[in-house]
Amino acid sequence: MPGTGGDAERTNTRRRTSRAGGDFLRRAVSFCRSTFGDSSPFCPTGTVTQHHESGVCSGPRDMRKSWAPCFLSVIEITLSITLAGKPRPPKANQPRTSGGHMTIDAHPTAVAPPIRATVYVGRWPEFPSPFPGPETGTFPPCTSTIVSGPTEVVLIDAQYLKEDVRDLGDLIERTGKTLTTIYVTHAHPDHYLGIGPLMERFPDAKCIALPHIVEAMKENNEEYAEQFGQMFGDTVVTGNALPDPFDGDTFFVDGSPLKIIEVEQADISPTTIVHIPAIDAVVSGDAIYNEIHPMLGLSTADEWPDWLGTVDVVENLKPRMIVAGHRRPDGDDYAVDMMIQQTRSYIKEFAAAYNVAKDAQDLIGIMSAKFPHHGNVWTLTFSAFSAIEMRTTAGATSGQ
């Protein structure tokens, strides 16, 4: 088993999943059953096609504005290259050191470390939306991070669509190095469904997650599989592969440590981030978002302050690079201050709007006005309907 550094008596362990989020998931599954039956709602024209050599994608733009998304950025300590089409103009609160095709680190270290991180950004699929408004929803691009040393690579999070898992495996294979470990940050299927095909392709690799995260996967895997099957049809990975429970807090690539940090809350709990000291990087799972509407619909108002605490944890690590769990394909992994500030601000603004909004549509309007450039409005829609339903239920319960 890779990794040492036990801390088996891990303190501050969170052994729960959000009851409210689980209940809403069950309602979403029920909706899919009643609306689609056993047929797949997924339309092939809603997929995003990719040119595998250049990394440039093409496909439906809907909420993606006028730029062509990409699926791969190579993050090195001195250089990050993003292959994109027409860039959006930089916003005032988004520090950039490039013109859209490449980002140069303005403060490189004196000596490049022996490891680097490569970020794979998945497709942006469509599916019929169960909510009023647009007929189609979209699922935000999910990231996977390959950390490579001289002879080994490790993978953090594993995608969920068959084509993304295939392309991710191709990318790992092209390194010519040995995949030793797949680590999963939390129990959401867009981060772990791909481990089955990847373990078949790389049978010598170990797949790990913290024990209570594995337990959370077991508790919800059947419902998630049904929900994702209804949303994405035969484009999504199926199977019951799960990580092995891992009691340590460190795993390694060519002797360089990757530190597992369990945090109080992100879009769900339990959840983790990974700190890579050698390159001052944090792979944040779904604790930090990069110009994508964060998912607040699977947690409660009482849990949102804990998420703010998690943002503080990431900030206190002083990373020079953050790999957000979901980001625009042309996102900047070095825009650390922007990601931290926007995630923190979004949670606070959502909590404030939640207290005053008349209904879900009002909440959507308030947040859309405050964050007009954030991608994947469907996530905001889901969060708003879930939050207002929880508020209504709580009010009815307290009034009894």
Contact 310, 324 (CB under 8 A): no
The backbone torsions φ and ψ at residue 118, rounded to the nearest 5 degrees and listed phi first, read: -120, 125
Measured from the Cβ of residue 173, the count of other Cβ atoms closer than 10 Å reads 13
Q: 59 — alpha (psi -120 to 50), left (phi > 0) or beta? A: left
- Parallel, antiparallel, or unpaired for β 136-138 and 143-148? unpaired
Contact 213, 270 (CB under 8 A): yes
Contact 52, 174 (CB under 8 A): no
Q: How far apart are CA 133 and CA 130, in angstroms?
A: 9
Contact 274, 253 (CB under 8 A): no
Q: How far apart are CA 343 and CA 348, in angstroms?
A: 9
Q: How far apart are CA 282 and CA 288, in angstroms?
A: 10
Q: What is the pLDDT, as a whole number, of residue 48?
A: 29
Q: How far apart are CA 265 and CA 309, in angstroms?
A: 8
Q: What is the pLDDT, as a whole number, of residue 57?
A: 31
Q: How far apart are CA 209 and CA 217, in angstroms?
A: 10
Reduce the DSSP state of residue 259 to 3 states and report it.
strand
Q: Locate tokens 């790389």: which residue?
A: 202
Q: Write the DSSP assignment of 149-214 as a string of letters.
A: -SSEEEEE---SBHHHHHHHHHHHHHTTSEEEEEE--BS-HHHHTTHHHHHHHSTT-EEEE-HHHH
Instruction: Specify which residues 252 forms β-bridges with.
Output: 257
Reduce the DSSP state of residue 242 to 3 states and report it.
coil
Reduce the DSSP state of residue 144 to 3 states and report it.
strand
Give the start-end residues of each E strand in the chain.
Answer: 49-50, 57-58, 72-75, 79-82, 102-104, 116-121, 126-128, 136-138, 143-148, 152-156, 178-183, 206-209, 244-245, 250-253, 256-263, 271-276, 281-283, 289-290, 321-323, 326-327
Q: What is the pLDDT, as a whole number, of residue 160?
A: 98
Reduce the DSSP state of residue 299 to 3 states and report it.
coil
Element housing 317 (H / E): none
Low-confidence ranges of the chain (pLDDT < 50): 1-21, 24, 27, 29-109, 400
Q: What is the pLDDT, as a whole number, of residue 31?
A: 44
Q: May I ask the CATH class of domain 19-398? A: alpha beta
CB burial of 311-327 (b: ≥16 within 10 Å; e: otherwise) equals: bebbbebebbbbbbbbb
Convert the pLDDT of each residue in 98-124 to its tens digit: 222 222 233 344 555 689 999 999 999
Tokens coding 252: 């390694």
